[in-house]
């Protein structure tokens, strides 16, 4: 029993020893852990310091790079500014630029303008004709050399565009030259007005030949005039100015020929045709209108190719123009109206034009038949545009003469004997089949040879006559 207790005691001591050992181990472990913790903290601090140091080094490196870039940029900027100030924006004209063949490189614009204005001075403009001189002061027409403009263009060649454009233009002048020429400028309207003043002094109007037939043929001779050709004179002026010539410019004077020459009126030597109609003198108003219209359509020289328009000579046949009220056919009915009777004059001239061989351009018959001319041989006119026209197709002029005497109106057309024709007028008429009291007609002109043989039949006009309304 005693031995068992002893072993028990021994076991208790051993347990205590083990416990103590465990505690030491724990303590040592704890110390070791603490030590490790300190090492970790120390390591962390070291790492932190290292990171901070690396960051600072990186920041310093970046700063050095930025400073280097800024430095290079500033250096380039200073270089560009120095280049611009020295070569481009230096207040002087760039290299290889010439004005009128003069090298103006490196010169200031004001100095170049002064030099050119001294070399190219504007003088009076002088014209000459027939030994007489005509002078126009330059300030009158605003004449001057465009020196300022050309110099400014030369100076602005490397300055007036974008910077890159200016730079390109500057360097392009290394291999090429820029040549500018001075021009003379002036107010064209004022220059023309001044030359027109000269023209008024020199121009001489032509005088047409005239003809008058009153029992006999009387003529006057034509004389040609002269006229300043303004456009050609201006052209000569421009050429002289463009070539910078200081010369007297000849005025371009041209013959201004008469439209009606002596030979024209002298070619009228015979009567081509004549026609007469009668009227009642007792109707004073109508007689007045016949006589008035006959007068204004008389003594007319119709040149070759010219068209006779009846209405253009009579004008509006109203009271304002001196025409009186008389019977007129209006819409098939006889009514009182200003101008009654003028159609007798137009119809008389129409018949004379037919017989003389004139080309009938426009003719219209009345709505009802008349007493003073046969069917198909009348020509009505009115103020609404209905006109009687014929054309002179001969190579010579014809002369129209109207006379009123003893209640008769006679129209005579004179011309050249070589244009005289053998003409008859034929009117075909018949009752209109589908209308009562209406007559259809067709008017023809028959040309015959000297033996009376028909050589040509020409249709002139056609229409319908209806019974006069009451």
What value does the mean pLDDT take over residues 119-144?
A: 92
What value does the mean pLDDT take over residues 245-252?
A: 90
Q: Dump strand ranges (E) for 37-183.
A: 97-99, 102-103, 125-129, 132-136, 144-145, 178-180
Q: What is the pTM of this model?
A: 0.68
The pLDDT of residue 4 is above 50: no
pLDDT for 80 equals: 74
Q: Which residue has the tokens 């041209």?
A: 254
pLDDT for 272 equals: 98
- Provide the β-strand partners of residue 336: 327
The pLDDT of residue 202 is above 50: yes
What value does the mean pLDDT take over residues 276-301?
A: 94
Q: Cα separation of 376 and 271, whole Å?
A: 24
The two structure tokens encoding residue 40: 């970790």
pLDDT for 15 equals: 61
- Better pLDDT: 390 or 215: 390
Q: Cα separation of 340 and 319, whole Å?
A: 11
Alpha helices by DSSP H, 84-133: 109-119
- Say if residue 24 is exposed, middle or buried (CB neighbours under 10 Å; 0-12, 13-18, 19+): exposed
Nearest of 257, 232, 252 to residue 129 by alpha carbon: 252
pLDDT for 83 equals: 65
Find the angle CA(406)-CA(409)-CA(321) to the nearest 5 degrees. 110
What value does the mean pLDDT take over residues 353-362?
A: 98
Q: Summarize pLDDT for 261-281 with one digit per residue, the tens.
A: 999 999 999 999 999 999 987
Q: Cα separation of 154 and 149, whole Å?
A: 9
The pLDDT of residue 24 is above 50: yes
The pLDDT of residue 11 is above 60: no
pLDDT for 42 equals: 74
pLDDT for 71 equals: 80
What value does the mean pLDDT take over residues 432-438?
A: 90
pLDDT for 87 equals: 65
What value does the mean pLDDT take over residues 198-210?
A: 96
pLDDT for 215 equals: 85
The two structure tokens encoding residue 242: 């463009």
pLDDT band, residue 391 (cuts 50/70/90) = very high
pLDDT band, residue 217 (cuts 50/70/90) = very high
pLDDT for 22 equals: 73
pLDDT for 190 equals: 95
pLDDT for 8 equals: 46
pLDDT for 335 equals: 85
What value does the mean pLDDT take over residues 164-184?
A: 89
pLDDT band, residue 3 (cuts 50/70/90) = very low
Which H or E run includes 150? helix 147-156
Phi-psi region of 130 (alpha: psi -120 to 50; beta: other; left: phi over 0): left
470 to each of 326, 330, 438, 465, how far by Cα in Å? 17, 12, 15, 15
Average pLDDT over the chain, rounded to an integer: 89
- Better pLDDT: 465 or 3: 465
Alpha helices by DSSP H, 179-229: 188-202
pLDDT for 243 equals: 80
What value does the mean pLDDT take over residues 99-125?
A: 90
The pLDDT of residue 7 is above 70: no
Question: Taking the domains of the chain in order of start, what are their residue ranges?
Answer: 97-185, 188-263, 267-466
What value does the mean pLDDT take over residues 358-363?
A: 98
């Amino acid at each position: 029993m005693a031995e068992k207790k002893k072993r028990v005691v021994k076991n208790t001591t051993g347990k205590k020893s083990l416990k103590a050992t465990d505690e030491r181990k724990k303590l040592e472990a704890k110390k070791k852990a603490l030590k490790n913790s300190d090492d970790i903290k120390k390591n962390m601090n070291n790492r932190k310091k290292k990171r901070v140091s690396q960051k600072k080094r990186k920041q310093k490196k970046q700063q050095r790079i930025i400073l280097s870039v800024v430095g290079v940029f500033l250096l380039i900027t200073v270089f560009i500014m120095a280049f611009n100030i020295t070569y481009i924006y230096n207040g002087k004209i760039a290299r290889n630029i010439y004005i009128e063949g003069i090298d103006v490189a490196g010169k200031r614009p004001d100095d170049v303008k002064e030099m050119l204005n001294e070399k190219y001075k504007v003088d009076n403009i002088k014209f000459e004709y027939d030994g007489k001189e005509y002078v126009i002061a330059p300030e009158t027409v605003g004449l001057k050399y465009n020196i300022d403009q050309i110099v400014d263009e030369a100076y602005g060649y490397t300055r007036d565009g974008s910077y890159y454009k200016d730079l390109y233009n500057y360097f392009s002048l290394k291999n090429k030259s820029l040549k500018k020429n001075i021009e003379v400028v002036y107010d064209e309207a004022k220059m023309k007005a001044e030359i027109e003043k000269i023209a008024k002094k020199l121009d001489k109007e032509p005088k047409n030949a005239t003809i008058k037939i009153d029992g006999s043929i009387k003529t006057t001779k034509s004389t040609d005039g002269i006229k300043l050709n303004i456009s050609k004179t201006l052209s000569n002026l421009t050429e002289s100015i463009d070539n910078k010539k200081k010369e007297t410019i000849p005025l371009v004077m041209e013959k201004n020929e008469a439209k009606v020459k002596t030979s024209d009126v002298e070619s009228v030597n015979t009567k081509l045709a004549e026609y007469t109609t009668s009227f009642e003198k007792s109707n004073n108003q109508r007689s007045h209108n016949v006589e008035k219209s006959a007068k204004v359509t008389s003594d007319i020289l119709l040149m070759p190719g010219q068209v006779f328009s009846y209405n253009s000579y009579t004008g509006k046949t109203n009271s304002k123009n001196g025409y009186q009220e008389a019977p007129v056919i209006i819409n098939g009915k006889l009514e009182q109206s200003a101008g009654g009777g003028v159609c007798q004059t137009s119809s008389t001239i129409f018949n004379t034009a037919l017989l003389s061989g004139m080309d009938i351009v426009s003719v219209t018959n009345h709505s009802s038949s008349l007493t003073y001319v046969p069917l198909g041989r009348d020509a009505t006119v009115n103020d609404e545009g209905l006109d009687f026209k014929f054309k002179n197709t001969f190579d010579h002029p014809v002369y129209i003469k109207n006379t009123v005497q003893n209640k008769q109106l006679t129209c005579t057309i004179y011309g050249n004997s070589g244009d005289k024709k053998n003409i008859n007028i034929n009117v075909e008429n018949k009752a209109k089949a589908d209308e009562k009291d209406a007559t259809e007609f067709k008017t023809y002109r028959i040309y015959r040879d000297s033996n009376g043989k028909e050589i040509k039949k020409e249709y002139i006009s056609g229409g319908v006559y209806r019974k006069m309304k009451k």
